[in-house]
Amino acid sequence: MEFRALLYFVAAAEELNLRKASDRLGIQKPPLSRAISNLEIDVGTALFDRSGRRLQLTRAGEQLLRDARIILHLVNRAGAAARHAANDGPPVIRLGVAGSGSSRSVDRFLRALFSIVPSESAPTTELPTSLQVQLLLDGRLDAGIVIPPVDEPGLIVQPLWREPLVVLLPEHHVLAGEAVLCPQRLAGEKLILPHPDFGSGSYQQVVEALIVDGKPPTADQYTFSRESSMALVGHGYGVAFVPSSLEIHKSAPVAVRPFAPPAPELQIAAVVRDDERAADLLRLLNSARDEAGL
């Protein structure tokens, strides 16, 4: 099982579209398709269900995605650790971040952090909350920026900031003509929700925001990233719910509408191991939060 094959597989699993995955990787679609087919041969089972209009992960594919993300993270961190060792400069903090690269608030936070600690001393990796928790417990991360709840003995969770959730709609959806939306107006819509295994905090917070008359919403589809949520909405598969700071390209075929007050908010938190470094790490993360004005 090759590193490149895992890299290709993760891109395809997150995009659930080979063309978009190939664009993301900067390769042609045929070699991507061949690499995934060869990986399925190596694993000995199908990783994708290709029977519908779009790709779906099989149970084996979901399991491999969990493990592949950890493997890719460890490979990246091994290279960073080797470079730090060569320079006699161990990292001050190995940081996991949920939503890096797609969230303006997270990017502001990281810029503020790097104004306090040089970026080479704070290697960061974008990881879902569930993987951050696992790597924190294993001692392979020092801190994480996560979406709670996180309820693990041995970890300290501290709220950092909150940001409003907004509704992501296909650009020509009938509800796109409304200035604000309430959960009741979304009854009967096809809902695209964060996957409860990979984004359990996002899933729980979004579900709580959409409860109507004591009834929680039912997902029509689950996604593994905000980018895949945006892609599905743009193709008309349903509506999704994302933080208001999500970066959305002007050409994306989606409409963003706020919730009617009081708008539900997404909680962002810091999590560290409960050890002798906890207080110093939390002070550093709080300082970055304050510097970013969050």
Is 107 in contact with 97 (CB distance < 8 Å)?
Answer: no
Q: Which residues contact 135 (CB under 8 A, 6 or more apart)?
A: 70, 73, 96, 127, 141, 144
Q: What is the CATH number of domain 3-66?
A: 1.10.10.10
Q: What is the pLDDT of residues 149-187, one digit of tens each?
A: 888 899 999 999 998 889 999 989 999 999 999 888 888
Q: What is the pLDDT of residues 11-21, one digit of tens each?
A: 998 888 888 88
Q: What is the pLDDT of residues 43-60, one digit of tens each?
A: 888 999 888 777 888 888
Q: b or e along 102-128 (b: 16 or more beta carbons within 10 Å of the residue's beta carbon)?
A: bbebbbbbbebbeeebeeeebbbbbbb
Least confident segment among 45-59, 123-137, 164-178, 195-209: 195-209
The reported pLDDT for the residue numbered 284 is 93
Asked, colleague to colleague, whether 3-66 and 92-160+268-292 share their fold, the answer is no
The reported pLDDT for the residue numbered 243 is 86
Model pTM score: 0.68
Q: Where are the domains of the chain?
A: 3-66, 92-160+268-292, 162-266
The reported pLDDT for the residue numbered 80 is 61
Q: List the structure tokens of 60.
A: 């084996």
Residues 162-266, CATH architecture:
3-Layer(aba) Sandwich (3.40)
Cα 71 to Cα 4, 14, 24, 65, 77: the distances in Å are 11, 16, 20, 10, 10
The reported pLDDT for the residue numbered 83 is 62
Q: Which residues contact 173 (CB under 8 A, 6 or more apart)?
A: 239, 255
Q: Is the pLDDT of residue 106 over 70?
A: yes
Q: What angle do CA 12, 16, 19 make, to 5 degrees?
A: 70
Task: Indicate the DSSP class of residue 185.
Answer: G
Looking at residue 266, its amino acid is L
Q: What is the pLDDT of residues 72-91, one digit of tens each?
A: 777 766 666 666 556 555 55
Residue 291 burial by Cβ neighbours in a 10 Å radius (0-12, 13-18, 19+): middle
Residue 220 burial by Cβ neighbours in a 10 Å radius (0-12, 13-18, 19+): middle
Q: What share of the chain is helix, strand, coil (3-state, %, to 5)?
A: 45, 20, 35
The fold of 92-160+268-292 is D-Maltodextrin-Binding Protein; domain 2 (3.40.190)
Q: List the structure tokens of 25.
A: 């990787």
